[in-house]
């Protein structure tokens, strides 16, 4: 992804992230308490209606590793936000910002991924206004 695309994606998320979070039928997720974790991608399901990433959360501070599922928007929305199917691949280690499942299960609605290079992967449902 070009730096320009990253900036664009980051900008649009700042602008419309609230709407995206509020509307994406993600009422099962707690939008008031976004969380961050580090982990390694195990599986990428690049499908509709929503993409999912299976993540192995790092063992940390006495807590053992665990498997999490992060749901995120669609291939179309992420592609228009500058992602490709290869932006996040099995084996990639990253920081994941997400809205946790309200029922306490190990899953969340993915908001942002920060790669070791410092690059942020974000997305927006609505491109910039014309």
Partner 1 sequence: MPERERSVLVNKAVRKFAIVCCAAAAVGLFVVSQARAEPPDLSGVWVPDVKDQKRQETANAPPWKKDILPQVEHLVAEEKAGRPFLVLSHCLPHGMPSWMLITHNAFELLTTPGRVTMLGEVDGNRMRRVYMDGRPHPEDPDLTLHGHSIGHWDGETLVIDTTAIVPQAYIAISEAVGIPNNGDMHVVERIHLAKPDVLYDDLEITAPKVLDATWKTTRIFRRYPARHYEITEGECEQEDLLPGKDQFGNDIFVANPQGQYGSVHTNK
Q: What is the DSSP letter of 127?
A: P
Instruction: Compute the least distance from the CB of residue 66 to partner 1, in Å.
Output: 10
**Site of interaction with partner 1 (CB under 8 A):** 16, 19-20, 22-30, 43, 45-49, 52, 54, 67, 69, 71, 73-77, 79-80, 102, 105-107, 125-127, 130
Write out the H or E segment, with its range, that includes residue 110.
Answer: strand 107-114
Q: Which is nearer to partner 1, 6 or 54 (CB)?
A: 54
Cis peptide before 49 (omega within 30 of 0): yes
Q: Which is nearer to partner 1, 26 or 112 (CB)?
A: 26
In angstroms, the Cα distances linking 60 to 39, 64, 105 are 10, 7, 19
Instruction: Compute the least distance from the CB of residue 31 to partner 1, in Å.
Output: 10
Instruction: Compute the least distance from the CB of residue 120 to partner 1, in Å.
Output: 20
Other CB atoms within 10 A of residue 66 CB:
13
N-terminal to C-terminal alpha carbon distance within the chain: 22
Instruction: Compute the least distance from the CB of residue 130 to partner 1, in Å.
Output: 6
């Amino acid at each position: 992804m070009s730096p320009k695309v990253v900036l664009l994606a980051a900008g649009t998320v700042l602008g419309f992230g609230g709407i995206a979070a509020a509307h994406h039928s993600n009422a099962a997720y707690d939008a008031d308490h976004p969380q961050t974790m580090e982990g390694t991608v195990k599986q990428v399901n690049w499908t509709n209606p929503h993409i999912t990433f299976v993540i192995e959360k790092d063992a940390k501070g006495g807590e053992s590793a665990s498997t999490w599922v992060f749901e995120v928007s669609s291939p179309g929305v992420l592609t228009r936000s500058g992602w490709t199917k290869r932006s996040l691949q099995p084996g990639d280690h990253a920081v994941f910002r997400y809205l946790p499942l309200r029922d306490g299960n190990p899953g969340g609605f993915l908001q942002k991924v920060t790669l070791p290079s410092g690059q942020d992967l974000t997305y927006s449902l609505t491109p910039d206004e014309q």
